[in-house]
Structure formats: C-alpha cells, structure tokens
Amino acid sequence: MKICLTGHSGFIGKHIFDFFKDKHSVVKINLRNIQTKKDFKNFFFLSNFEDANFIINCAANLDPKTQNDFFINQEFPKLMASYIGKNIKNCFFIQISTINVLIKDRKDCYTKSKIIAEEGLKNTRSIIVRLPLIYETQNDQIINGGNLSIFFDYLSLKLPFYPMIYPGQVYEPLTINLFLNFLNNLISKENICLKYFSLSGGIKKNTYEIFQEIASSKNKNVVKLNIHKLLPNFLIKLFLKKNGFLQQLTNIDNSNFKKNKQILS
C-alpha cells in the first residue's frame, strides 16, 4: 500500500510516518513551495501522488496569518481531493481536521480555516478525521510534544510555584497511540462507509487538570488562578479570537459535541 503524507514534520505527521513506515510505502510530501493554485498544478509536484492508495493531509498552520498559511489550511485540501477524484483511481484523501469545527464558541482563524476546508471537501472521495487535544504518553505520563509543549516550556522556568488558570478549557483528550491504531484500522478496511469521524478520548479534563498532571510528574507546585474573577468579560471575549496559549484563558467546553462522535479507549 502506498501512503502519501503531507505535514510530516509536525507532531501528528511525525508519529504517522514512524507508525506506518515499516508497514507500508510512505512518501513524505513537502508543501513549502506550494503557495498557489498554479504551484499545485505543477506536474512534478502532482507526480508524487501517482498510484497512491491513501493521501493523509496533516499539513496546517495553527496560527494562520499569511496568504500561504490560509492556502494550505483552506484551499489545498479541496484541490487535492478534486485531483484524486479525476486522476487517481481507488485512492482516498484523509483530511486531519479538528473537533473545533463543531464548537460554536471557537472563533479563531485556525478553526475558521478548517471549517472552510471541510466545506470544500463535500462531494469528494475524502474522509475527515476530527481530532481533539492529542498528546503522547509514556508510562501513563504525558510527555513533551505537540500543543502541550508550551506547558513544558513554562515548567522549565525556575520558579517557586507555577500559577495556572482555572479551570480553563474542557477537553476529552486522546493519546497519539489510540489515534494511530484508529487510523491503521481505518485504512485497513476494504469498504469505508463513513465520511466523518469526530474522535474523543472519552474522559473530560480541563486545562488546569492537564497542567497539574504534567507538573506533578516533575514535582512542581501549581497555584490556581481563576482568571474569570480577575479580568473583565470584554478581555475574555478578545481571547476567543486568539490562537495558542491565550485562548486557554476561556472556559470553552471542547467536549460539547455529538455529531459523528467516536470514543476511543
């Protein structure tokens, strides 16, 4: 089986490559020079996808700002899926998306770009896998990587204690191993009936609880900081429009969705 993988340098992409490289032929596709529709149509670029069984798209910018960022987040998935439908038989396009698209309070540019990408994949031979917060564990402890790396950087500072907002956002996080096993089972099926998979780890954890879990493994002291009692509402609403760490100051419930929900355990 031939799998083409975009976004292979990111947290999820690296794990997908390492997981499948000894099982299948995995081709890493670099999108750095693909900034426009004209670049996409370059034959040399598209020739990489010949005879592919699956194209897994992990490429995305979590804080899109430039024209290229938005092209990769919004337009590339539709162009790729349309190309597959016309030129590559028996090939599926797997779009790695986010459950953010199902959360009405998520108003950041990343989420909006992912919504546009999903809309562009309607009526194409594609599969959309929406991920929650995802992290790697070792011996039942969270290890550094992905979106949680900012917590590890914070804890690397030499402080007597570490203030952390409480409760923060609510998640049903998923370990990378559960996701990889799901993906392996998905591409192993002869017939794929569903188009949308909204994945969940099934156990709710808020930002403070996740941070405290990491801090405890490092014997660090954490102090609760109830930001909602300290900041006015207009600032909290402003954070809704931001990406990254600032958005954790809100109390968004990222587990509050039912559409195509699939709990992995």
Judged against a pLDDT cut of 70, whether residue 57 lies above it is answered with: yes
Q: Report pLDDT digits (tens) over 211-259.
A: 999 999 999 999 998 866 666 666 666 655 555 455 656 778 899 999 8
Query: Do residues 96 and 129 touch, judged by C-beta distance below 8 A?
Result: yes
Neighbour tally for 184: CB within 10 Å: 14
Token pair in block for residue 110: 């990343």
Full-model pTM: 0.92
Most distant CA pair in the chain: distance in Å?
A: 60
C-alpha to C-alpha distance for 16 and 27, rounded to whole angstroms: 11
Query: Do residues 49 and 55 touch, judged by C-beta distance below 8 A?
Result: yes
C-alpha to C-alpha distance for 103 and 12, rounded to whole angstroms: 22
Burial status of residue 193 (CB atoms within 10 A of its CB: 0-12, 13-18, 19 or more): exposed
Phi, psi of 86 (to 5 degrees): -95, -25
Neighbour tally for 170: CB within 10 Å: 16
Q: Report pLDDT digits (tens) over 7-40.
A: 999 999 999 999 999 999 999 999 988 888 888 9
